Chains A and B, each alone.
Chain A
Amino acid sequence: MTILTVEHMEARHGLLKAVRGVSFHVSQGEVVALVGANGAGKTTLLRAIAGAHPPSAGRVLFRGTDVSAIPAYRRAAMGIALVPEGRRLFPQMTVEDNLLLARATGRSGPWTMDRVMEAFPHLQARRKSKAAHLSGGEQQATAIGRALMANPEILLLDEVSLGLSPLAVERVYASLQSLMQSGATILLVEQDLKRALAVADRVMCMLEGTIVLEGPTKDITRDQVMAAYFGAEHGKKQRKAVQ
């Protein structure tokens, strides 16, 4: 069953067209990775789906309902949760308060404070700490936990490994792995190709605002993604350079 459909989406940053006519869908229980170079439009696309960036054209359908005109806070209440790039925690508030804020969505379900602490055990000791005093990995765990507290139907993850130590990335992904196995629907942006291909069922590659490659990860080779990632010409050079 399709949860999310994006139709002919276009979005701008001032004069720059960041997203140029993107269409795709995400089905229930699917983990879809969105990859692409910096500036390819991935973050803008995710923000437009969550309602945090106004698209200049196109539609977003959530469970068949057009949500294009619905503000972000109501999309969150419907079950779309974005873990934004750079985490965007409330730095002067405690971990607990950051997590409890998601109750504003009015959604209940399996994810409670205790479940989040189980999923990210290293947060337990930091519950009363201000978000500003956490390490990058702890902050990312809090940001993901905050999104989960809203018991979302689809989780949008924007570069959850950005700026984290390799160990912290491992930890975050270990927690995400069990989340993915529990049947969660996830659309994630990830710079690390290898990791994206390892966790996702399907991969989409963006280049200069459009999706240039899409398919199940099992049918797509790393070379194909590399070619799409940098554009065909760049891809050849890149491969030569690797050889």
Chain B
Amino acid sequence: MIWVNQIVQGLLLGGYYALIACGLSFMYGVMRIINIAHGSFAILAAFALWELSSRFAISPFAGLAAILPLLAMVGWILQRAVLDRSARGGTLVPILSTFGLAIMIDNLLFQQFGADTRSLAPYLDTLSYDSWSLTDDIYIGKLAAMIFAAAVVLLGGLQLFLGHTQLGRSIRATAADPDTVGLIGVNAKRVNAAAAAIAMVTVGVAGAFLAMRATFNPYAGPLQLIFAFEAAVIGGAGSLWGTLGGGIVLGVAQSIGAQIDPQGFLIAGHLVFFVVLFARLYAGNGGFAGAMRNLRRRLV
């Protein structure tokens, strides 16, 4: 039963990973840009909410509603001022510039807030520990369930948005062929800026839930980036439902790893990530059978 519980908890944790991976995967899928500052932006949002809650007694949910439009603007400006320009310098330059941005954000947060670990849990009333009991051994936290539901709604909403709106169609077309969209009246720069704004909104949601369900400090960004990266790669970068699957696989792997050994939490996640990564490298287009064939060819 303990294993079932771990799997259930891992599944719910996967909802958070899907949320944090969603923006990273989305930006990669549309603009082929890997935003290294992704995790740092999530922590920045977390600190903004903490500031609103601790200083002005604004509930984190109301605070989130207030900062999301700001984050969208940040995303828009980031794309127009930094990413768009650096992407013209090749694939490495956006990675370097967002890496620099991450260092800047982390250290500015450190300077402002110090190294203390914080959480939004104290501002959530009983939500941070309320739960439903399924059986005597299995409890589902209300917050964890809410995060999972938010992930499904956000990813599903993005999917619908991409499929059925003019901006969504423009985003998909720009991702496929940025040179040709101009010929049919699409302003690729503006579309990319809109996509970056959307990605940043998802980062804000992820940062808020991270701060509610756990603790954070100014240097917590890079670890969140790694989780986002692992979930996105496991799920197949650029695919939205894949990202949910990837988040769940990562969450379940970590929970099972933690059950095997208290230190096994991170290791199990990394292990699954590497297994999937190497399977992809070996498989090419041949799927599982192709992977095995290529592996045998390589070893024998």
Residues of chain A whose beta carbon lies under 8 Å from any beta carbon of chain B: 50-52, 71-74, 76-77, 81-82, 84, 88, 90-93, 97, 100-107, 146-147, 150
Q: Is the CB of B185 within 8 A of A51?
A: no
Chain B binding surface SS class: helix
Asked if B130 is at the interface (CB within 8 A of a chain A CB), the reply is no
Asked if B173 is at the interface (CB within 8 A of a chain A CB), the reply is yes
Partner of A101, one of B179, B186, B187, B188: B186
Minimum CB–CB distance for A165 against chain B, Å: 24
Q: Is the CB of B173 within 8 A of A76?
A: no
Partner of B185, one of A52, A77, A97: A77
Residues of chain B whose beta carbon lies under 8 Å from any beta carbon of chain A: 166, 169-170, 172-173, 176-177, 179-188
Q: Is the CB of A52 within 8 A of B184?
A: no
A-B contact count (CB 8 A): 71
Q: Is the CB of B172 within 8 A of A73?
A: no
A146, closest chain B residue (CB): B184
B184, closest chain A residue (CB): A102
Q: Is the CB of A104 within 8 A of B185?
A: yes
Minimum CB–CB distance for A186 against chain B, Å: 16
Please report the C-alpha to C-alpha distance between residue A71 and residue B179 in the assembled complex, in whole angstroms: 11
Q: Is the CB of B185 within 8 A of A105?
A: yes
Give every chain A residue within 8 A of B166 (Cβ-Cβ).
100, 103-104
Q: Is the CB of B183 within 8 A of A50?
A: yes
B176, closest chain A residue (CB): A90
7 A-B pairs with least C-beta separation: A105-B185, A72-B182, A76-B185, A104-B185, A88-B180, A73-B182, A104-B186
Partner of A82, one of B177, B183, B187: B183
Please, could you name 14 A-B residue pairs with CB atoms under 8 Å apart, sorted by A? Answer: A52-B183, A74-B187, A76-B185, A88-B177, A90-B172, A91-B176, A93-B176, A97-B169, A97-B172, A101-B181, A104-B166, A104-B185, A105-B184, A106-B185
Give every chain A residue within 8 A of B180 (Cβ-Cβ).
84, 88, 90
Please report the C-alpha to C-alpha distance between residue A52 and residue B177 in the assembled complex, in whole angstroms: 13
Assess A81 versus B183: contact at CB under 8 Å? Given A73-B188, A88-B177, A90-B177.
yes
Give every chain B residue within 8 A of A77 (Cβ-Cβ).
185
Minimum CB–CB distance for B173 against chain A, Å: 5
Give every chain B residue within 8 A of A91 (Cβ-Cβ).
176
Q: Is the CB of B183 within 8 A of A101?
A: no
Please report the C-alpha to C-alpha distance between residue A76 and residue B183 in the assembled complex, in whole angstroms: 6
Please report the C-alpha to C-alpha distance between residue A9 and residue B169 in the assembled complex, in whole angstroms: 34
Q: Is the CB of A76 within 8 A of B179?
A: no
Q: Is the CB of A76 within 8 A of B182?
A: yes
Give every chain B residue within 8 A of A92 (Cβ-Cβ).
172, 176
Give every chain A residue within 8 A of B188 (Cβ-Cβ).
73
A103, closest chain B residue (CB): B166
Give every chain B residue within 8 A of A101 (Cβ-Cβ).
169-170, 173, 181, 184, 186
If A76-B185, A92-B172, A104-B170 are given as contacts, then 14 extra A-B residue pairs at C-beta distance below 8 Å, sorted by A number, are: A50-B183, A52-B182, A73-B185, A73-B186, A76-B184, A82-B183, A84-B183, A90-B176, A101-B169, A101-B173, A104-B187, A105-B184, A106-B185, A146-B184
B185, closest chain A residue (CB): A105
A88, closest chain B residue (CB): B180
A72, closest chain B residue (CB): B182
Minimum CB–CB distance for B186 against chain A, Å: 4
Please report the C-alpha to C-alpha distance between residue A88 and residue B186 in the assembled complex, in whole angstroms: 14
Give every chain A residue within 8 A of B177 (Cβ-Cβ).
88, 90
Partner of A150, one of B173, B181, B185: B185
Please report the C-alpha to C-alpha distance between residue A146 and residue B177 in the assembled complex, in whole angstroms: 15
A78, closest chain B residue (CB): B185
B172, closest chain A residue (CB): A93
Please report the C-alpha to C-alpha distance between residue A97 and residue B184 in the assembled complex, in whole angstroms: 12
